[in-house]
A and B are shown apart, each in its own frame.
Chain A
Amino acid sequence: MAVVKLAADYAPEPCTGCRLCDIVCPSGAIRMVERKPVIAEDLCIGCGRCVDRCPEEIMWMKERAEPLKVTVTPEEAPAEEVLALLEKAGIDPTISVCVCTLTPASEVAGAVIKGAQNLEEVCAMTGLRSGCGIYCVAPALRLLEAAGRDMTPPKQHRWYPSALSLWDLDESVRARYPDAFIGEDQDAFDPEGRFHQTKEQQA
């Protein structure tokens, strides 16, 4: 769960309609209408990236009257479906995929099960990317991909469909980079062979 205390706001003049705020918004909260940004406050997760990006310096973060709690609860997504999606993506359900909001992987999977179609919707539903906006992205993309969502990258480089994982590397890679601890890490992080084939399973 993310507790969002701030929301973006801006002054219409002298906005030039450059769209940079829209492009960097991680949750789809900013849309351009007649070359001016329209901010959907209920979708704003308070990351402040638009304020930092604005070349005219006419945006700011304002305090919300009441903090917005952004979350997908266990009741909103069947546990067995959540676990199955995490298993398919090769993501341990117990880890936090976002170190800013401490959002667990199971909540992100829950957002996808609940119906999130793309990265922006996952962020709006969970608060993912409200902090650094970087480290949580790959697990979210991998869960979307595992759920069969359309991974065609959106316009203006909002995100690219990149979700490589340790589990994707095979023997040929291990042979090319023998000192990269690929097999060792695969065995250490997945001793039961849920996400990769252990040596025992291969035998």
Chain B
Amino acid sequence: MTATAALLPPAFMPSDYGPALRPHVSEQMDSFVSLPVRDLFPSFAPAITDGDEADRDKVRAETRAALAKVDMSRISADDTVNILASEHGFGLMGGWPYAEMIKTIREVVIERTGCRKVNLRLAIYRGFREADEVNHHFGFDEAFEGRVHGLGPFDQGVEVETAIGPMYLVKRAFDSTKFIHAYYDDPREMYFNRLLYKSFKSFCMSYARFETRSIYHSMFGNRSGSIIPRALFDSEFIQCRYAFSSVLCTTPVGVVGVDATTDLYAIDRRITRSHLETYGRMQRLFSEIKDCVAIWDGGRWGYYLHSGGLIFGTLLTNHSDSFDLDQPVVAGFMQVPGAPVNFSRNKSLRGIVVNQAWVGAGIPYVTMPFTTPMYIVGEEQAKLWREDSSNPMLMDRAKVVDSLQQGIAMACEKGQTDKLLVFDGSYGHLTCSQSLADHLLARAPEVDRVVGEQLLPKWLAQRGLS
């Protein structure tokens, strides 16, 4: 038994879209433990950071080392360069590793090319105030000498001709002569993206108008949707502006490095292989959880809160193997006739306790509140949820509880389980109950064997990566 007393997760950004910061689960209850990811899967390489801000210099050094090998000849001193950043990067380990990579990119571009007009464009989702929050929290205005703007799906678009037809990107993202794709490799919604060209996804989401985002999610399947971002990336509009990519690389252990080059396809192949080896094992381990209560305890949307590097959505959709491309659907709007998949229900998930998280604010929880008991801690949060238009029925079903302890007790009693998993933004370990830690430690060796001997070879072959 290697689990230790629960560690504090990385600090997160306060936001208008969530409640006032509250004490974490690990601060309120001493019955939780931290289960190290590398105790589950010893083959995973150590990380350079799992969110400790004392590791800033390590991230900067990794970024500089990666950028040293990048051909920056596409950028001249006369160019204007946009560094394009996507919001979910700021939800990784408190967001500072991604922020440090971005700031370092600016410094190196100026040093190497003489170009001084380096802008930051912060792509956000639905909250119009979120870009300002990110800008302020991470000190970008100062680092970029005021050359920072937010952008979102409702901003003015620009029509882009692609091999599959015209689509619309956000004009402000490309109001420069060149741009840098500054990304992170959090696999996040593996059940949607299926790790098929995930490194390109920003081109149809973060940098795109809402119509294009809708096409990606609603008019294609999980697998075929991968053509949308690639068609945009391959378009003349993008290629004549594209300088290079820099990607913050992670595993469930934490940040493991930075990958940077002009060849985004090459980055994607490396990341996909790494993800299938590491996140693939964690995803299959989550599928070994047959009964548990999840606790949301972070500064982002509940779906996107991490535990051991995997988001809550992964637990919700662990009904099947997200990486097996023989399966047409894991989640999504397009369904196989006669065989619909309810991706918003997991019978092993017996309840959800919301200690703190952003309300829906554009993220619908679909049928989850109808099938999974939810307990919202405190009236302040309940009020935010009542006003959330993305989930108009949620508070008709969810219960408001006075305390975290009360919510957990009610959820465990109703769900007939003592297994608890906290989504608090942690990498490198899972914050969980001792009973769940014991269960996961017992199951991990067999998961490791099955993935290594059976699943991984298939997943790689399906992607041409054998």
Chain A positions within 8 Å of B128 at CB level: 52-53
Say yes or no: A162 contacts B334, CB within 8 Å: no
Contact of B337 among A159, A182, A191 (CB under 8 A): A191
Interface class of chain B by DSSP: loop
Chain A positions within 8 Å of B177 at CB level: none
Q: How many Å lie between the Cα of A163 and that of B364 in the bound state?
A: 22
Contact of B165 among A47, A168, A179 (CB under 8 A): A168
The reply on A101 being an interface residue by CB < 8 A is yes
Say yes or no: B328 contacts A137, CB within 8 Å: no
Say yes or no: B211 contacts A6, CB within 8 Å: no
Report the minimal beta-carbon distance from A70 to chain B, rounded to whole angstroms. 11
Binary interface profile of B, 396-415, with partner A (CB < 8 Å = 1, else 0)?
A: 00000000000000000000
Report the minimal beta-carbon distance from B160 to chain A, rounded to whole angstroms. 10
Q: A2-B392, A99-B366 are in contact. Are A184 and B328 (CB under 8 A)?
A: yes
Q: How many Å lie between the Cα of A180 and that of B197 in the bound state?
A: 9
Say yes or no: B223 contacts A181, CB within 8 Å: yes
Chain B positions within 8 Å of A95 at CB level: 333-335
Report the minimal beta-carbon distance from B71 to chain A, rounded to whole angstroms. 26
Q: How many Å lie between the Cα of A132 and that of B361 in the bound state?
A: 7
How many residue pairs bridge A and B at CB < 8 Å? Answer: 175
Q: How many Å lie between the Cα of A176 and that of B227 in the bound state?
A: 10
Report the minimal beta-carbon distance from A108 to chain B, rounded to whole angstroms. 11
Report the minimal beta-carbon distance from B335 to chain A, rounded to whole angstroms. 6
The reply on A106 being an interface residue by CB < 8 A is no
Binary interface profile of A, 96-130, with partner B (CB < 8 Å = 1, else 0)?
A: 11011110000000000000000000000000001
Say yes or no: A166 contacts B224, CB within 8 Å: yes
The reply on B289 being an interface residue by CB < 8 A is no
Q: A46-B389, A131-B390, A189-B336 are in contact. Are A138 and B211 (CB under 8 A)?
A: yes
Say yes or no: B390 contacts A24, CB within 8 Å: no
Contact of B360 among A2, A131, A138, A177 (CB under 8 A): A131
Binary interface profile of A, 12-49, with partner B (CB < 8 Å = 1, else 0)?
A: 00000000000110000000000000000000001111
| A-B complex: 4 closest residue pairs judged by Cβ atoms | A181-B223, A138-B214, A162-B211, A188-B328
Interface residues of A (CB under 8 A from B): 2-6, 23-24, 46-49, 52-53, 61, 92, 95-97, 99-102, 130-139, 141-142, 157, 159-160, 162-166, 168-169, 173, 176-177, 179-182, 184-186, 188-192
